[in-house]
Structure formats: structure tokens, C-alpha cells
Amino acid sequence: MKLQKIKAEPHTEHQRTGNPGHAGIYVLLLSAALSGCMTTRIEHVKDTSTGIEAGESIVIFASSYHTSNPAEDDLIECVTKRVQSGSGKLQVHPEAEFRDALFPWLEPRTAPRTAEDLPELLERPGVWEQVRERNIRYIVWIQGDTERTSSGGSLSCAAGPGGGGCFGLAWWENLSAYEATIWDLDDGTRAGKITTNVNGTSVIPALIIPIPLIARTQAAACKGLAKQLQSFITESPPAT
């Protein structure tokens, strides 16, 4: 298996959306002002050429806890939702329905552990028929999590008859690290993988009123992963 393409996109993330109304602009400015600092790094490795026909779908699963650290449910929901929107949107088949249809072969205990086990799964009685019936082309397994890597500072608040307030500064750093492995069911092979690392520092400075500047690393990882997943699957020509 050759590694055909490696793409690295380290950048600092700043939230921007297009065409908001006046109220939206204020909310956006406030939101941008109140966001912590984040650094996003997304890489992908493509093993084979990809592409998807009209009517074909993908299924997104958290990886099995028998083999790795499965991504959180809310991350899976977020990626599923985002992959289905935008210009490169993909059709995503509900994972619970697919898991039920293939029972017992996609349970944590029985699911294929690597792409090398995929042909064995597809050869089991009834499995290929269920895959074809639903027009599933790719299975995406996502592993990883969001962890607090460090924290510090001090913030204290007090209240009395004349009023109250807070003073100090507290901060913490989160790392959201996820890896999506894409299996091509047509070929029975691994198509490649995408890794996303988002590092973010949240700060709450307080001078009477605390102002939280929160770095939403998991949301940024979801956004980056979904966008990369869309282009990974739809951009068919692989590097040679």
C-alpha cells in the first residue's frame, strides 16, 4: 500500500461566516471577540483514488472501543451533520440503521478491526446485499477525543450587601485530536485517513465582571474534519 498524497494544513482558526444581517454581525463580532485562540492542523493520507456516484452514501461510525478510543457521540453527530451540508455535501446513511441491518457484524466485539478484515465481512452471508440495497460506498470510522492538557491561573469572586465582583485570570488548554479512517466498500480496501488536531486556549479574565474567551476545540475539529472528509471523498484523482 503506497502513501500517495500527504497534505498538511496548519493554520490558526478564526470563525467567519458569510452574509449575516446586522444583528448577525453584532453576534458574530461578539462571538469572535469572545473566542479563545485555536490552532488547527489537518492532514490526510490517501491510499487509493476516491469518488462517489450520485445516489451513493457514506456511513460514519465511532470506532470500536475494543480497538481504539472511540470519538464522542456529539462529535459523530456534528461531523455527520456538517458532511451533509455545503457545496461538497455527501449523503450520509444513518449509522444505527446500518448497524442493525448488519447485526451482529458491526458491534464493537465483532466489527472488522482493520481494512484487511473488510473482505471477510463483505463475504459473510447477506452483508453485501445489505450494503448494495442501501448504496453504501464508504464506511468512516472516527476515533479520538478532546482532553484538557493544562490549566492555571486564579479567579476569585465575592459578593456583599453593596454588590459583588470577580478578580483574577483563569486559563486552560484543550486538545481535540481525531482520526477518521475511510474504507471503500467497492474495493474492500482502506481509501485513506484524515487526522485533525485542534489546540485551543480558553481564558477568563475578570475585573469585576468575568469575560469568558472560550476556545471550542471540538467544534473546530468537527468543522475541519467534515470539510476535509467531503473533499477527500469527492476529489477523485489520487496522487501517483
Partner 1 sequence: MVAGVRYPAELTDFIHTENPELQPQWTIKLGTANLQMFRALLNGMFIKTIELDVDTQAAVDPEIDFIIEPRLEELEFSVPQQSGSDQFVVWLRYNLKLLQPDGQLIGNWRITGYGQEDEGDMGMGSANAMKDAAITALRDAAASIVVGFTKAPGVEEYILTRIDKPDEALPEIALLEDGVPEDPLAEDNLLKNHETAEDQS
Residues at the contact surface with partner 1, assessed by CB under 8 A? 65, 72-74, 100-105, 107-110, 124-127, 130
Q: For the CB of residue 61, give the shortest distance to partner 1 in the complex, in Å.
A: 13
Contact predicate 208/165, CB 8 Å: yes
- As a 3-state breakdown, the chain gives helix, strand, coil percent values, each rounded to 5, of 25, 40, 35
Q: Which is nearer to partner 1, 18 or 104 (CB)?
A: 104
> Distance between CA 37 and CA 225 in Å, rounded?
19
Measuring CA to CA, which residue among 161, 124, 140, 110 is closest to residue 232? 140
Contact by Cβ (8 Å): 40, 220: yes
Alpha carbon of residue 62 to chain centroid: 10
What's the chain's length in residues? 240
Nearer to partner 1 (CB atom), residue 135 or residue 231: 135
Compute the least distance from the CB of residue 28 to partner 1, in Å.
24
Q: Specify the residue, 72 or 187, whose C-beta has the smaller distance to partner 1.
A: 72
Continuous segment of H or E residues that includes residue 159 = strand 136-160
Q: From the CB of 125, what's the least distance to partner 1, in Å?
A: 4
CB distance 239 to 46 below 8 Å: yes
Shortest CB 147 distance to partner 1, Å = 10
Q: How far is the CB of 205 from partner 1 (least distance, A)?
A: 23
Q: Which is nearer to partner 1, 36 or 70 (CB)?
A: 70
Q: Which of 111/180 has CB closer to partner 1? A: 111
